[in-house]
Amino acid sequence: MKRVQSVDFLRGFTVVLMILVNTPGDWNHVYSLLLHADWNGLTLADFVFPFFLFIVGISISFVYKNKKGKANASVYRKIFIRSFKLILLGLFLNVFLPYFPFIKIESMRIPGVLQRIGIVFCIVSILYLNLHKKQLLYISFFILLGYWIWLAYIPLPNGNLPTLDRGVNNWANYVDFLLLKGNIWQPDYDPEGILSTLPSIVTVLIGVFVGEILVSKIKQKLILLTIISMCLLVTGYVWDVFFPINKALWSSSFVLVTSGYATLFLVIFHYLMDDREYDFGNLFKYVGANAIVIYFLSMVFARSLYLIKINSQTSIHQFLFETFFVYKGIAMPLSSLFYALIVVGFYILLAYFLYKRKIFIKV
């Protein structure tokens, strides 16, 4: 199958944005556009993870399209192994923190970005291989509707009525606190928690549906995808009134709105890059070719700079930032952004180096 340039571009662009969000010069002075919403709402940073899961779904439809209904043990073994690798890499990142090796394993965070990718990749791949499109649509519908009813209307075991606010009376937070206790990102919630993994499955499934349409022989498929994106956006924003757009909860409205934007952006890039064959965005395609590896290395390297000390009080990260990026007359958030942009440039160069030498590391 011919490479779909727009998918490679969007994957690389998403990873670049991931690195930009995750590597500011100073966490106390993050550039405003790169901050996540405090709770409800949607910012540029909140698009990153759902876009990546959306692309995971597209990739699943590309890779397993010809294996639907006839997958053998070898196919499932590869799915399980890849999922297991992603989860292990994610757990390693949770251990590899600035205060490593003094971390207590029993109190380390269990959820994480790579863990969620591994879990939903495994679940959606198996569903896609064994179920028809209509069945997958039903599953998506019932997950989104059921998740809303569960979080908004079913009383908690302690008898309290649920809320959609941050705290223990929120079902998602309640389950994480009960089952994971001290092994979560914050004392009262985790953005990659247990319950919120359910609707993230639908984000991947929407990517699967879009991927199937992209490689189909349907005429005017970009018009169809544009209509789908508009339907997702309108439905998501209407649902926002009742179930607010919220990344931490991965609310049903969040799923629809972010998937709608992802589909719309893909339509635009597909028209420009695959239909009109405009040649641009190679830098992002280089990153997309080794997406997981580039993301993983960026996290390990960034945390290493925090870990290694020049003296008892100054890390390499702090030294580099304060020496080369902090100047009088330049606002700290802007200095923080410049640092992140330099880091992004480094990983684009690394991705270019790997691509030109045909080094593609698959996880």
Domains of the chain, residue spans: 1-35+280-363, 56-276
Of residues 303, 17, 298, 39, the one with CA closest to residue 188: 39
- Note the pLDDT of residue 98: 46
Structure tokens at 246: 């919220």
Does the structure show a pLDDT above 70 at 101? no
How high is the mean pLDDT of the chain? 91
How would residue 282 be classed by pLDDT, with cut points 50, 70 and 90? confident
Does the structure show a pLDDT above 70 at 84? yes
Of residues 198, 195, 192, 23, the one with CA closest to residue 109: 192
How would residue 99 be classed by pLDDT, with cut points 50, 70 and 90? very low
pLDDT digits (tens, 9 = 90+) for 310-346: 887 889 999 999 999 998 788 999 999 999 999 999 9
Of residues 355, 318, 313, 360, the one with CA closest to residue 339: 318
Mean pLDDT of 81-99: 84
How would residue 80 be classed by pLDDT, with cut points 50, 70 and 90? very high
Mean pLDDT of 161-188: 86
Q: Residue length, the chain?
A: 363
The answer to whether 88 and 24 are in contact (CB under 8 A) is no
pLDDT digits (tens, 9 = 90+) for 231-279: 999 999 999 999 999 999 999 999 999 999 999 999 999 999 888 888 7
Q: Name the pTM for this structure.
A: 0.94
Burial code of 272-300, b = ≥16 C-beta within 10 A, e = fewer? Answer: bbbeeeeeebebbbbbbbbbbbbbbbbbe
Start-end of H helices in 23-64: 48-64
Structure tokens at 219: 């005429």
- Distance, in Å, from the CA atom of 111 to the CA atom of 109, rounded to the nearest integer, reads 6
In 104-232 the beta strands, taken as DSSP E runs, fall at none
Structure tokens at 57: 């779904």
CA dihedral 86, 20, 201, 65 (to 10 degrees): -70
Which letter does DSSP use for residue 97 in this model? -
- Note the pLDDT of residue 344: 96
Does the structure show a pLDDT above 80 at 281? no
Of residues 44, 118, 102, 149, the one with CA closest to residue 296: 118
Which letter does DSSP use for residue 246 in this model? B
Q: Which of 14-28, 163-177, 243-257 has the lowest mean pLDDT?
A: 163-177
- Note the pLDDT of residue 136: 97
| Whole-number percent of the chain with pLDDT over 90 | 71
- Distance, in Å, from the CA atom of 188 to the CA atom of 167, rounded to the nearest integer, reads 6
- Distance, in Å, from the CA atom of 105 to the CA atom of 144, rounded to the nearest integer, reads 34
